Structure 1
């Protein structure tokens, strides 16, 4: 008997009901069909008793495997870690001795500064001064001299400050320095010298002579064919009158010519 021959009897229970089967009550042919369904090896050489034993073992193994799979805990899928883009925050400090002055208007100035940690530590050692102060100053003068002190204020190691100094059209600059515990001041960094804006109207006068609106209109009408304008009548009224007279004259001339030609 071949392993692939025959069909399963109609009264053979379906796979889902195998657990309720009584193999001892089945015929050898029914057992064989079940062995075909379960794909048992060497089934064609087995006796009825051997088929019962092999089927019973195979069905028990399948039941155990199904129960194990049913109660098996499947781990949750591991999602890839979300990679955040790198952040580049603007630092509060750059560890560079700096002083910058920016004019706002003729009576207000903005200054920002910084003193590096290395500068502070070196100053403390050189001047044997564990306690120091930071002093921000503003000077005024010209581009060549050292200038005069206009303002002075004690500040922190870094920061910004608004000054209300009314010095229009003057050269000014800022300076940040350190003061030891004996009151001695030492400059650290200074800004560029800048000229404050003026509080007056500019004295520069444009030397170019501009054409008036009336002159432009007159030139336009001259280009249109009006050669003579009555200078006794001012402005646009004069131009209007001359243009109308010019048009009437041309219209009359055109009518006379048309009559002569018999049109």
Structure 2
């Protein structure tokens, strides 16, 4: 007969009561509140003191003040681009080009052919976008820069990314084996794509070996011997 670990007449363990009470207080404190978007909530449990009950929030930062541009595959037809350009990098490049302001442009291109896939202007120094392009296994590169007199001057380039392919990659050359019965018994040898082609090099070499050596049942030829006979 199965018995509960805690008899019915016993009270619930203190730790369990504290955990449930702490969770209830957290739920009550959130009722009617609207949290800002992209917010992480931290909820301690196990506290039975209202003064110690903590409801804290930590917003995900908009940026990290690190010059970054990344292109990542979502699937075979879609790619995700994220960027962040700091004031330090932008102002430094503007001084080099001796211009006061300029349009920020992102270009996506194939790495090997350098074919431009797409380009778009950005208004914010931190942002993200989705690019629809059937890239297969052609590696992509994203670059952010500014336009000066119609010419593109690069600021930052991403690492190369290879998008996935919907096609199944080949496994290389196929190796066919043929099962034959000869003087030495049943053996497997390398054959041709047509398993009924009894004139394949592997079978011919095996038959010649048995004929020349007079090998009996249970004696087999090594792969090295067969290669010698074939070539």
Instruction: Sort the TM-score into its range (normalised by shorter chain).
Output: 0.3 to 0.5
The alignment's TM-score, normalised by the length of structure 2, stands at 0.47
Bigger fraction of residues in strand: 2
The alignment's TM-score, normalised by the length of structure 1, stands at 0.42
Bigger fraction of residues in helix: 1
Larger Rg: 1
